[in-house]
C-alpha cells in the first residue's frame, strides 16, 4: 500500500458511503458532515496524507471538539462517523496509522426522554384545522388544505400511536400496512424490520388519509405519506408540519417528532408496566435502552403501590389512634 493523499482518500470513502444503500439518508448526511469537519481539522493541522493520521491525531481532534463546546453526545456521533471512515479506508486498502479499536467516545450522561404528557398530546391530536378553514378561499385551496390536514393528522397519530421513529414513518410504503390485521411492517435501524400494532385512532386516521391521498398520487409512488407534488414526504417536512401544528394548538412549546415516540413509550409503560413489550414495539436491541422510560413520576408510582400492595393502603389521617392497653 502506498501513500494516499487526503483528497483521494476522502473521495473514495465518499463513494463507498453513497453506495451503501442500507444506511438511513439522515445518517449518511451526518457522516458526511463529520467527515468534512475532520478534513478541515486535518488541513488546519497540515496533515496531507492518511499515513499521518495516528491515534494521537484522532485524540487531538476529539479534544478540539470538546474545546468547541461540543456535547459528549455530539462527540460520540463524530466518533461513530470516524470509525465508519476508517473501516472504509481499511476495505479500500488506504493506509493510516491509527487503531480504530482505540477510538472511544466519551460517556454521555443519560438524559430522561422529554415526553409530553397525555393532555398535551391530546390537545395536538384533537386540534382540527378544518374547523378554522378560510371561508373566503377558493374551492381548490380548501380542498388542498383538507387533504393536507388529513395527512398531517395521520402523521401525528402514527408517531404517537405506534411509536415510530421519524425515518421509519417517512419510509413507510403502502404495502407495509395491514389495517385489517391492525399492524404495520416497519424498517428500523440497520435495516431491521419489525411488526408494530396499529391502534383504533391511528387506523381511522390512515383510512381517512388514504381516501384523500389519491388526489396527490400522480406518479404511482409506493410511499404512504406524500407531498402535494406526489413525492415521498421528507423528514424535514414532517418536523415543520408538527412545529406548525403545535403552535396552532396553543402548546407551550413546539413538539419534535421524537417526543411523540417518547410519549408513546412512556404512556404505554405507565399503563402496562411491560418493559419487554415496549422494547419490542420500539425496536430497541437492548432492554437497557428501553429502561430509560421507567421514569414514572412519584405520584403514579405511589398510586400503583397503594392499589397493589396489601399493606400499603394509607390509614385515614383523621382516625383516632387505638386506645392504650390498660389491662
Q: How far apart are CA 74 and CA 94, in angstroms?
A: 27
The residues, any chain, with a CB within 8 Å of residue 26's CB and separated by 6 or more, are 167, 235
Q: How far apart are CA 22 and CA 188, in angstroms?
A: 11
Q: Of the listed 165, 213, 262, 267, which one is catalytic?
A: 165
Q: How far apart are CA 226 and CA 169, in angstroms?
A: 11
Q: How far apart are CA 16 and CA 260, in angstroms?
A: 34
C-alpha count within 13 angstroms, C-beta hemisphere, residue 13: 28
Angle at 241 between CA 78 and CA 245, to 5 degrees: 120
Q: How far apart are CA 186 and CA 196, in angstroms?
A: 7
Active site residue 258: yes
CB atoms inside a 10 Å sphere around CB 61: 19
Q: How far apart are CA 26 and CA 238, in angstroms?
A: 14
184 DSSP β-pair partners: 177, 196
Q: Of the listed 189, 190, 207, 244, which one is catalytic?
A: 189
DSSP letter for each residue of 298-318: HHHHHHHHHHH-TT-PPPPTT
Please, where are the H alpha helices in the chain? 6-19, 25-44, 55-67, 72-91, 118-126, 139-161, 166-171, 200-213, 235-248, 257-272, 275-282, 287-290, 298-308
Active site residue 311: no
Q: Of the listed 84, 261, 262, 267, which one is catalytic?
A: 261
Active site residue 189: yes
Q: How far apart are CA 56 and CA 159, in angstroms?
A: 43
The residues, any chain, with a CB within 8 Å of residue 50's CB and separated by 6 or more, are 3, 4, 6, 9, 89, 94, 95, 96
Q: Of the listed 77, 213, 267, 293, which one is catalytic?
A: 293
**Residues assigned a catalytic role:** 165, 189, 258, 261, 284, 293
Amino acid at each position: 500500500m502506498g501513500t494516499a493523499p487526503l483528497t483521494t482518500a476522502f473521495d473514495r470513502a465518499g463513494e463507498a458511503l453513497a453506495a451503501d444503500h442500507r444506511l438511513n439518508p439522515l445518517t449518511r448526511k451526518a457522516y458526511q458532515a463529520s467527515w468534512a469537519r475532520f478534513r478541515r481539522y486535518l488541513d488546519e493541522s497540515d496533515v496531507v496524507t492518511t499515513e499521518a493520521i495516528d491515534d494521537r491525531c484522532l485524540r487531538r481532534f476529539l479534544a478540539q471538539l470538546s474545546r468547541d463546546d461540543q456535547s459528549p453526545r455530539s462527540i460520540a456521533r463524530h466518533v461513530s462517523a470516524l470509525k465508519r471512515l476508517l473501516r472504509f479506508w481499511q476495505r479500500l486498502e488506504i493506509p493510516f496509522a491509527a487503531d480504530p479499536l482505540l477510538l472511544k467516545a466519551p460517556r454521555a450522561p443519560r438524559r430522561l426522554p422529554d415526553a409530553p404528557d397525555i393532555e398535551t398530546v391530546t390537545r395536538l391530536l384533537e386540534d382540527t384545522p378544518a374547523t378554522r378553514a378560510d371561508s373566503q378561499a377558493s374551492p381548490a385551496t380548501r380542498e388542498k388544505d383538507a387533504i393536507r390536514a388529513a395527512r398531517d393528522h395521520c402523521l401525528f397519530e402514527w408517531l404517537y400511536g405506534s411509536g415510530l421513529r421519524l425515518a421509519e414513518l417517512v419510509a413507510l410504503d403502502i404495502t407495509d400496512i395491514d389495517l385489517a390485521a391492525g399492524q404495520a411492517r416497519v424498517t428500523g435501524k440497520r435495516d431491521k424490520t419489525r411488526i408494530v400494532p396499529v391502534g383504533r385512532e391511528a387506523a381511522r386516521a390512515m383510512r381517512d388519509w388514504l381516501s384523500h391521498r389519491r388526489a396527490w398520487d400522480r406518479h404511482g409512488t409506493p410511499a404512504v405519506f406524500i407531498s402535494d407534488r406526489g413525492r415521498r414526504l421528507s423528514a424535514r417536512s414532517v418536523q415543520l408540519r408538527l412545529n406548525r401544528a403545535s403552535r396552532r394548538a396553543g402548546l407551550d412549546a413546539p413538539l419534535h417528532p421524537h417526543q411523540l415516540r417518547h410519549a408513546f413509550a412512556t404512556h404505554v409503560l405507565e399503563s402496562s408496566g411491560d418493559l419487554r413489550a415496549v422494547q419490542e414495539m420500539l425496536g430497541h436491541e437492548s432492554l437497557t435502552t428501553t429502561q430509560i422510560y421507567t421514569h414514572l413520576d412519584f405520584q403514579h408510582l405511589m398510586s400503583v403501590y397503594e392499589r397493589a400492595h396489601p399493606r400499603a393502603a394509607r390509614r385515614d389521617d383523621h382516625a383516632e389512634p387505638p386506645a392504650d392497653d390498660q389491662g
